[in-house]
Amino acid sequence: MEHCDSAWSSTAEYDERVRAEWGNLLHHTTTRLWDGTYYRVLNPEIFNEGRWSGPILLGTIAYRYIATFPSLSREHARLELDPLNHLSTVGLIRTTDRLYVFGVRRRPGAVDLIGGGVQSDEFEIQSGADLEKNLYKEILEETGLNQEDIGKLVGIGVVVSSTSNVLVAGHAQLKVDSVEVARRFQQRTEDEMERLIFVADEGVREFLTQMNDYRNLLPQLDW
């Protein structure tokens, strides 16, 4: 990993639209919106084969650009702005009773994998081990499961969205069943996930292909 003093920037016109949309999000949400800084990958082309082939160059990007992108994607394209390429870690989490764990996010109410962005004020990313720590953190926050509940966590590849995420994906085999996962969920430290969804082992790849954006590319990885 190499850190660069490079923050994602846009135009005055786009920034004005971001300010307006961010204000709209603040007005309509019932949960706290964090507006910190994520890591951003400056050279996503190194992931062309699904795994990185050289040092990752890291810059930064303000979260408000990420949060408002779904609403402003057409403006982003019209202005020919650089891709966001914010760095995230996500996990395919399998219980002992052969179910995969997904969640429904409170905002915008969509089904998603467990995981999230890598925040520069929480971790100084120096190696793949730091990305693993970020995924453990996300799993704990969103499900209530801690590192001791995971028997084996392995990296399975990288997915690059055309305009937004660079996702480092892992596969976590739990030591507990879905009943215990549901119980731990009630003890989670964050309320970003409204509820959990369990998908049978034999149907999870089909489930992923029906999801949007980068998520439907995950079945192409080796797991």
Q: How far apart are CA 103 and CA 194, in angstroms?
A: 7
Q: What is the pLDDT of residues 21-68, one digit of tens each?
A: 999 988 887 767 778 999 999 998 888 765 566 789 999 999 999 999
Residue corresponding to tokens 């937004």: 164
The interaxial angle of helices 12-28 and 63-78, nearest 10 deg, is: 130
Domains of the chain as residue ranges with CATH? 2-220 (3.90.79.10)
Count how many Cα atoms sit within 13 Å of the Cα of residue 49 in the half-sphere of its side chain. 4
Supply the pLDDT for residue 222: 86
What does the pLDDT profile of the chain (223 residues) look like in tens digits? 899 989 999 999 999 999 999 999 888 877 677 789 999 999 988 887 655 667 899 999 999 999 999 899 999 999 999 999 999 999 999 999 999 999 999 877 789 999 999 999 888 899 889 999 999 999 999 999 999 999 999 999 898 876 678 999 999 999 999 999 999 999 898 888 999 999 999 999 999 999 877 788 888 888 8
- Give 3-6's long-range contacts (Cβ < 8 A, gap of 24+): 3/58, 4/42, 4/57, 4/58, 4/59, 5/59, 6/40, 6/42, 6/59, 6/60
